[in-house]
Chains A and B, each alone.
Chain A
Amino acid sequence: MAEVKPGKKTRTRTRARLLPTGVADSVGMILALCALTAIFGLKAKHFFELKTFQTIANQIPDAVVISVGVTFVLIIGGIDLSVGSVLALCSAVMGAVLLRTEMPLPVAVLACVITGLACGSINGLLISGLKLPAFIVTLGMMEIARGATYMITGSRTAYIGSRVEVIAEQSLFGLSLPFLTALAVASAGQFALSRTVFGRHALAVGANEQAARYSGIGARKVKWMVYALCGALSGVAAVINCARLGSADPNAGTGFELQAIAAVVIGGTSLMGGRGSVVGTFLGVCIIAVLGAGLAQIGAQESTKRFITGCVIIAAVILDYYRRRLRASSGAA
């Protein structure tokens, strides 16, 4: 907010526009998060402890980074089903670079992110250039990336060990490097969305592509950039995933795409495009992670876990719907 020009009128207008996508929308989710934490705190013996939250903070960074990418894709009214497979491909590339060549870690990380960027760019080119449906293109990429992963790894889990684990071991102020990366990506994402031309254009393209194009926005370029960004973020998430597990798993990220979409939608981003919040996405990931950790800690049956997770996803979306209607009616008055 610091860089808003002085003058009362501008400031209030900016705040009115900024807050809804940022903090105000998140109140409901924060309450839901607190409620979940309270319930598990009562049910499990050791849930309400620092250790639990450290564990969760250790688990979510890759999901956060990917979900930020998916948030932008949903905002422009698209979809990306390939993120999980691209993550696996990127970690396979990283494993291959580290294990088969004597290249240092930064080179491997770079190769990993570039692989993601390349996959995302191909998606973007096909979708924006040839006007192919995003669902089919990314479905195809999902299969291609998974197949390429199996080719590179020979379907074998590659154990990398301490060479990649150092990434997860770095920390600052008690927060691990992956978690800080995730926070940085989420903050940058929210900033880009609400404060930059790119973000404005993405929202405009998602709301009404034709109108955006008539008003002089390069809709194709915006779409291409968003898919490329999403791919690159899958690459970043792959680095984090590799560092956490100490290995490159060819089956990594299976089902990640749906989990990410669920987190993004819980966070209040519209599946139809044109509206979204990265802060909301971050909280959405937290809700799913707290739920997963809590249910595992109380040792719930698998059937119960799935049932409850489904219910929470739907409840979160219902809540979001009513809150939005409430605000829309009060805003109109």
Chain B
Amino acid sequence: MLKFRSSKPVLVCIAVICASVAGCKKRDPAAPSAAQPASKPTIALVMKSLANEFFLTMENGARDHQKLHAAEYDLIANGIKDEQDVSRQVALVEQMIAQRVDAIVIAPADSKALVPVCKRAMDDGIAVVNIDNKFDSGALAEKKAKIPFVGPDNRKGARLAGEYLAKKLKAGDPVAIIEGAPNAFNGIQRKLGFEDAMNAAGMKIVTSQTGYWEMDKANQVASSILTEHPQLKAILCANDSMALGAAAALRAAGRQDSVIVVGFDNISAVQQLMKEGKVLCTVDQHADKLAVFGIEYALEMLKTRAAPEDRETQVDLITPDTLK
């Protein structure tokens, strides 16, 4: 009796695990390179949070590209649970080294902490390409590693948005910035870009606080900023999720007409808000192509074995006019 009782949950667990594994299998086309002809390289894409729409778009772009070029390379795509999970990402790179992939395309969760493990991959003869979040140059120099960065200039993108905003304001107007996570290189670059544009146009930045890339946190911070600064004219957000949160705060405070919101990333939800006039503009850095650029670059490196150089990808300002 006792034995039967205790085995029931075990059976349930096994059934659940089997079902979930079976359900997941087709999502992960992780084919070991040994089974493939030697000429066809395997490229590992190591991403940040797949919970974030931006990285999901990036990964899907890469998967579509691989399907079109299935004869040229195999793809193993992996992501971490949340954007701060640095140690898990290090473990992923180690697994990829053990898998003996030919190249690793990585969007590092931390611009310093991932350098040593990538250096180890290079020492094993794996080509490494850095996308999205640029490795810290000091950390690279210290490890004597040269990893090419393929990606957009976030600072330039943020400056474009800021300059567009400045045309709607007059010099001396108070504005606020909602930053991304404090340790993210791209977040810092976007903040700098916003500051460049605002300072050049003579705006007054009254406060700059982090919203951790999240809608709800940004909503709370924006609400408080609105209360403290009744004259505020604009809120510049380092990503679109936070812009949605800020727009909701404006609505709650009844100040949609006097305060302008600017975002970054061009996610689908924000396009709707731009059409309704609740968000002024955003910046598209072509997420669907970012990983693809990295993969193409890695394939080039594998062929030519040339000394890697950085390559800048396109950033575009998106306004309600460009959406039409």
Q: Do A and B bind each other?
A: yes
- Footprint of B on A, CB under 8 Å? 44-47, 49, 51-52, 55, 58-59, 130, 132, 146, 150, 154-159, 161, 165, 168, 241, 244-247, 249-254, 292-294, 296-299, 302
Given A150-B51, A155-B51, A245-B219 in contact, is the A161-B276 Cβ separation under 8 Å? Answer: yes
Residue of B50, B56, B227, B251 near A52 (CB, 8 A) is: B227
- Footprint of A on B, CB under 8 Å? 9, 50-53, 56, 82, 182, 206-210, 214-216, 219-221, 223-230, 240-241, 244-245, 247-248, 251-253, 267-270, 272-273, 276
Contact A168 B216 (CB under 8 A): no
Contact A155 B56 (CB under 8 A): yes
The 14 sampled A-B contact pairs (Cβ below 8 Å) are A46-B229, A55-B252, A58-B223, A58-B252, A155-B50, A155-B52, A156-B53, A247-B215, A249-B241, A254-B214, A293-B220, A296-B220, A297-B227, A299-B206
Residue of A132, A158, A302 near B182 (CB, 8 A) is: A302
In angstroms, Cα B207 to Cα A46, docked, is 14
In angstroms, Cα B248 to Cα A218, docked, is 45
Contact A156 B267 (CB under 8 A): yes
In angstroms, Cα B209 to Cα A302, docked, is 7
Given A156-B53, A159-B273 in contact, is the A245-B245 Cβ separation under 8 Å? Answer: yes
Which residues on the A side are within 8 Å of B273 (C-beta)? 159
- State how many angstroms separate the Cβ of A295 from the closest Cβ of chain B: 8
Which residues on the A side are within 8 Å of B269 (C-beta)? 156-159, 247
The 7 A-B pairs at the shortest CB distance, nearest first, are namely A296-B224, A159-B269, A297-B228, A299-B207, A157-B269, A155-B56, A249-B215
Q: Which residue of A lies closest to B230 (CB)?
A: A46
In angstroms, Cα B247 to Cα A47, docked, is 21
Q: Which residue of B lies closest to A157 (CB)?
A: B269
Supplied contacts A59-B220, A150-B51, 10 more A-B pairs, CB within 8 Å: A46-B229, A47-B227, A55-B226, A159-B272, A161-B276, A168-B252, A245-B245, A254-B82, A293-B224, A294-B224
Which residues on the B side are within 8 Å of A130 (C-beta)? 9
Contact A247 B227 (CB under 8 A): no
Which residues on the A side are within 8 Å of B226 (C-beta)? 55
In angstroms, Cα B211 to Cα A245, docked, is 14
In angstroms, Cα B248 to Cα A145, docked, is 25
- State how many angstroms separate the Cβ of A290 from the closest Cβ of chain B: 11
Q: Which residue of A lies closest to B83 (CB)?
A: A251
Q: Which residue of B lies closest to A159 (CB)?
A: B269
Which residues on the B side are within 8 Å of A298 (C-beta)? 228
Contact B219 A297 (CB under 8 A): no
